Structure 1
């Protein structure tokens, strides 16, 4: 088999990743214990081999080109896998280590995942967690993610979905708003109220509100003066400030209800929920750090997220 890589190339990849992640050749040189000229030569060697520019350079800064950003994702994955192979071969993999990349929605991120990370770090200090908090769908391969939490499993047979929980939905408004506009007594009354809308970034569609009427499940389109996008927690903030009626996950507004900042509405029509799932690619070799985090998160779900309380 013809060799495609040598020690010099692998070292160049490491210095390229350092330069991209630290934002400069000098900072990368300091981290690696080499000279800035050595970093520059390594990057130039890669660019010549690939036939593309990886960085746009000015006198003071560098920034990745589009090709450089795509190359960084794959290089980081490859270097992480090499490091893990070394640990496994040398018997050091009994302690999970390395970089873990997770994508999580704003609701689940702030109220479920982030409160757990300090405990996870105490248990596994050699794992570095890179957390993307946002509501757009991510590309596991192109963006280098290990795991994602989503309400819906994308129509992709290459993904495994592990159910985390069914998050109950609650209709709320502030006491100030209800004093001004009255309290809805039935679902039909919502047509006369300011209903705070949220638009799904992936589809551009407004999220319908979910209710029960006895044994019948209802999906309701509502109207109102406010349309939010990207961060659904903005609806909670707007409702607390008297902006209108909003349907939110109970775990995001429990404290506000207990403090009297929000009032639960139409409870007899409640009880609907949406599922949260943990997603990861099917068939990909799963590093120990990823398996460790999956076990930790599922354990926390079973314990009722006690670490976050």
Structure 2
């Protein structure tokens, strides 16, 4: 087991580029990570890293060993997770990434049922609107949409990642309701910057006839979170564009309504994604199956569709 831990410290240090970052991901101290790597080098009789006060780089032997060890480490960890259990039930910490509002609206409400089925699993859920490095950051699964899958990940689709234009009834009562995409030029826009690039992405609207049109709102403000944009729109400050999943609670309550309801943005699919390794830990497998099952039961894919 000590050797396995030392190999994991080596692999995570190579991925992170530093002992300190590897220690943060592993929940250890940098000194402990460094000692484990030094012990591994002593056991192997080769130097795996070139060290300096400012950098950590792999030697040629280290590059070769990383390629051999990385896949085997994940397979062994998966095998150990699958062996551990209470009366055959999955156990262990389940580290999952998801957006805050999406998680609060659609995933956290499922906690009670999930834990009653799988009491040996301990959720460790992170709420952040970004695509995570699943291997480097040690996530078992992640939920999101509108971006390319990370390398080595596979996905199961939960629903469409459509985006819709929203405004408060009070705003629309004071301003002429747009009747075409070109009319958006006359309206205040509550724009959202991309968490990946920090920029405002130039989305294209489309309709059922296959026509496309640019979104040309006046830039009244720029926010970094779709929930913040919805709250600003509720105050009658302008029109915003958010995913249908974010929009749904506001539409159902009547707090916001769709603008140009025949038009929407198609940004792909909302998916739950996880490592593509064949030996997937049991805790991850049951979580993925459970989420897919619950979304189908609730008909959320149909509710997320903006068509």
More deviation in 138-147 or 281-290?
A: 281-290
**Equivalent pair of 1:199/1:227 in contact (CA under 8 Å):** yes
Could you tell me which residue of structure 1 aligns to residue 90 of structure 2? 96
Cα offsets for 1:227-264 (capped at 9, x unmatched): 112x2211111111112101223333334334332222
Shift of residue 268, structure 1, vs aligned partner: 2.5
Shift of residue 224, structure 1, vs aligned partner: 1.4
Consecutive unaligned residues of structure 1, counting only runs of 5 or more, are 10-18, 25-39, 53-65, 68-76
Note the 1:105-124 alignment, pairs <5 A: 105-124=99-118
More deviation in 293-302 or 242-251?
A: 242-251
Could you tell me which residue of structure 1 aligns to residue 223 of structure 2? 228
Cα offsets for 1:109-142 (capped at 9, x unmatched): 2222222122211221110111111122211122
Q: 2:191 aligns with which of 174, 197, 202?
A: 197
Q: How many pairs were matched up? A: 253
| In 1: Cα distance, 2:130 partner to 2:248 partner | 25
**Equivalent pair of 1:112/1:305 in contact (CA under 8 Å):** no
Could you tell me which residue of structure 2 aligns to residue 297 of structure 1? 291
TM-score in terms of structure 1 length: 0.68
**Equivalent pair of 1:197/1:207 in contact (CA under 8 Å):** no
Consecutive unaligned residues of structure 2, counting only runs of 5 or more, are 7-22, 40-54, 57-73
> 3-state SS of the aligned residue for 1:227?
strand
Could you tell me which residue of structure 2 aligns to residue 179 of structure 1? 173
| In 2: Cα distance, 1:82 partner to 1:180 partner | 62
Cα offsets for 1:73-126 (capped at 9, x unmatched): xxxx899758636526xxx46211111111112343222222212221122111
**Equivalent pair of 2:82/2:282 in contact (CA under 8 Å):** no
CA RMSD of aligned residues (A): 3.9
Shift of residue 168, structure 1, vs aligned partner: 3.9
Question: Within the alignment, does 1:257 sit opposite 2:251 as a pair?
Answer: yes
> 3-state SS of the aligned residue for 2:219?
coil
| In 1: Cα distance, 2:214 partner to 2:106 partner | 27
> 3-state SS of the aligned residue for 1:140?
coil
Note the 1:3-152 alignment, pairs <5 A: 5=3, 48=35, 50=37, 84=81, 87=84, 92=86, 94-152=88-146
Change beyond 3 A, Cα 1:51–1:175: same
**Equivalent pair of 2:82/2:281 in contact (CA under 8 Å):** no
Change beyond 3 A, Cα 1:282–1:259: closer
| In 2: Cα distance, 1:44 partner to 1:166 partner | 46
